[in-house]
With several copies, the nearest count.
Chain A
C-alpha cells in the first residue's frame, strides 16, 4: 500500500468519534504530514463546512490551506485539477453531491481522463468529497445519490465509506492515491459514532468487505444502506434467517470476488441502495452475478431493493417512502429467503 504519511502509531489505540470527526482527523493528519495537501470548497473555512466537517480546521491550518471559495463548483474543481497537475494534493468539497452537476466537465472530461489522454505523462491526484443522500427534507435538488454516474466514468475511483471506523483510513488512502478519487459521504452518517484508530493506518481502496456472514441470503448494500441492512439482518436472524452482508465500499475499481463468493454460498441475493434502481450501481452487481458462474448458484431471481425512480420529494412521509427503510429490507429479505426455489 502506498503511503504519504508515516505509519508509526499502533492500531490498538482507538477512540469513539463521529463520522465527521473521523473525516476531519484524516484531513488534519494529511495536512500535517504533507504540505501539498490542502482543502478548498464553499464555506469550508470559518463556517466549518455546510455539514460541519471541516469544523475548526481553518484555525489550525489557516485560510490558505482551508480555502473558502466563491459559489463556483466548476471553477473550484478545475482549480483542484490544475493544482494537482502542478504538484499539489487538493481535496475539494462540494456542499451537496447534486452540485457536482455544475462541475461535471472538470470531473469527467478533465480529471478522469488527463492521465490517459496524456499517455501517462501526468496524473491528477485529487479527492472530491461530497455528501449525498436523502433523509433531511432537502428535496429534489439536495438529496440525490449519483454514485452510479461516477462509477461509470473510467479514470475515477469511487468510494462510499459506510462506517465510522473505516472512513478515516479510506480518506487517507484516497489522498495518497495518484488518481482522482470521488469520496461520497452520506449525510445521515455524519453524526453516527464508532471506534476510529488513532494512527494513520490506511484502509486500502478496492476491497469489498463482508460485514456479516450467514448461510441463507446475501445482501449487498452501499452507503447508508449498509447499517440499515445489518440491522435488518439482525432482525431476520431472530426469525432464524441468516444473512451475509457485503459492502463493496469502493465502487470503482470494484472487488467483485467477495460478492460472488457470498452468492455461491447463499444462493439468494438482495441488492440494496438508496439511489433510484434504474441503471444504478446495483444493476452492475446484478450483472456481475448473472455474468459469472455464481449464476448457477442462484435459487431465486436477484432482488433489487432501491430508491424509487422519482426525484426526491420534500414531505417527510414521501421522502421515507422513496428509499428502502429497515422494515422494507426485513420484509423483502424474509420473502426472498422463504421463496420456493
Chain B
C-alpha cells in the first residue's frame, strides 16, 4: 500500500504539466479547436498515441516485442476528446485496445513502453503487458483483457465516489462488441438505478474482431441501447475531436452534478487489424481506405490551421515532439532492467502486515 502512496506523490509534478482541460467560459468548456493551449495539448496527445502505436507495431514486426497487441490507430480522437473532458482525480476504465486511453490520461510514455518491453520499470513490472497496462496515478483503473470487464468496475468506482460525497467521475471505455456482453447490461443498469457518476464511452469501430455491428446487434446504433436503462444515449462522430469533447463534457458535467450516467457512442474505425493475427478478411480495402481519409488527426489539424488558431509550424512541432518523445521512450525503456522472475509467488497477494490499512490513507488510484 505504501507503494501507491509514494507513487501518487512522485507523479504529481509531472501530471500538472499536462494541459488537461480547456478553459470554461459561461459554464461551458471551450471546444479544443478554439483555445490554442488546449488545441496544442490535444494535438500532442493524439500524435503521442499515433506514434506510440506505430512504434509498438514496428517493435512487434521486428520481433522485439512479445505477446499480442491491439492498436487504436485511427481512433485517437475519442480517447483524447473524452479524457480532455475529465478533471484531475477523475478515473477511467480501459480496454484491450487501451494505449490511447492511457496516454490521453497523461501516463508516462517510457513506463508504458517499458511495460510492453517486459521491463521491471514498466507500469506493471512486466507482469501485465499491453492488455493490462495502467497508470493508477493518472486515474487509470486498468486496461482489461476481458471484453466488457471494465464496465461494472467503473460503476463500482463511481459508487465509491458517490458514497463518499466526492464530485468525481469515471469514464468507462469499451468497444461495440462489448455491448453484447452481459457485463454491459448489468453495469449500465447499476449505474442507472444508482444515478452514478459514470460516462460510458463506446468506441464503435464497426467490428468486434471480425463481426460487424450490422450483424451483432439489431439496432442501428449502440446509443439506442441507452433506452433500456433510462439514460441519455448519444452518437457522435468519433473522429471529430471537438464533437467528442463536447458530448463528453456535457455527460461528465451531468454525472458530476448528480444527473447520472450517459452512454456515448463514438463512431470511429481502426486502421490496423484487430491484432497481429488478423488477415482482414471481413472488410474491404475500400472501406479501410475510406476511413483513412477521415484521419482524426488530419481533420483536427486542418480545422485549427484553417481557422488560424494554430500555424503550420505549431502542427509540425506537435508531431515532431511526439515523434521525439516516443523515440526517447523506446530508448529509455530499453535500458531498463528486465522483469525479474524471482518474486512471482510473493507478488500474488498484497501483504497483510505491510501497513495496517486503517492507518493508511484510502487506496485511491488517482492523482
Contacts and interface: CB of A to CB of B under 8 A. Distances in A.
Contact between chain A and chain B defined by CB under 8 Å: yes
Interface of A: 1-5, 33-34, 36, 38, 42-43, 45-48, 50, 52, 64-65, 68-88, 90, 98-99, 102, 105-106, 109-110, 114-123, 125, 136-142, 154-155, 157, 176-179, 205, 253, 308-311, 313-318, 320-322
Contacts of A79: 152-153, 155-156, 159, 187, 190
Interface in B85-130: 91, 93, 118-119, 122-130
B186 A47 contact: no
B79 to A, nearest CB: 20
Interface string B127-168: 111111010100001101111110111111111110110000
A83 B348 contact: no
B350 interface: yes
B353 interface: yes
B347 A120 contact: yes
B339 interface: yes
Contact of B152 (A74, A87, A311, A321): A74
Contacts of A75: 152, 155, 180, 182-183, 185-187, 189-190
Contact of A140 (B132, B186, B189, B351): B132
B123 A114 contact: no
A106 B148 CA distance: 10
Given A119-B124, A155-B348, A177-B352, A78 B209 contact: no
B25 interface: no
Contacts of A105: 146, 149, 183
Nearest to A96: B145
A313 B145 CA distance: 13
Nearest to B162: A64
A157 B351 CA distance: 12
B61 interface: no
B146 A318 contact: no
A190 to B, nearest CB: 12
B157 A82 contact: yes
User: What DSSP secondary structure best describes chain A's contact surface?
Assistant: loop
A313 B339 contact: yes
Question: Nearest 7 A-B pairs (CB), nearest first?
Answer: A82-B156, A78-B152, A75-B186, A137-B67, A314-B129, A87-B362, A119-B125
A137 B66 contact: yes
Contacts, number: 321
A315 B180 contact: no
Interface residues of B, number: 90
Contact of B348 (A33, A46, A205, A311): A311
Nearest to B187: A75
Contacts of B155: 75, 78-79, 82
A315 B118 contact: yes
Contact of A4 (B216, B282, B358): B358
B320 interface: no
A36 B208 CA distance: 28
B127 A117 contact: yes
Contacts of A71: 147-148, 177-178, 180-181, 208-209, 211, 216
B170 to A, nearest CB: 8
B156 A85 contact: yes
Contacts of B122: 119
Interface in B272-327: 277-279, 281-282
B341 interface: yes
B131 A142 contact: yes
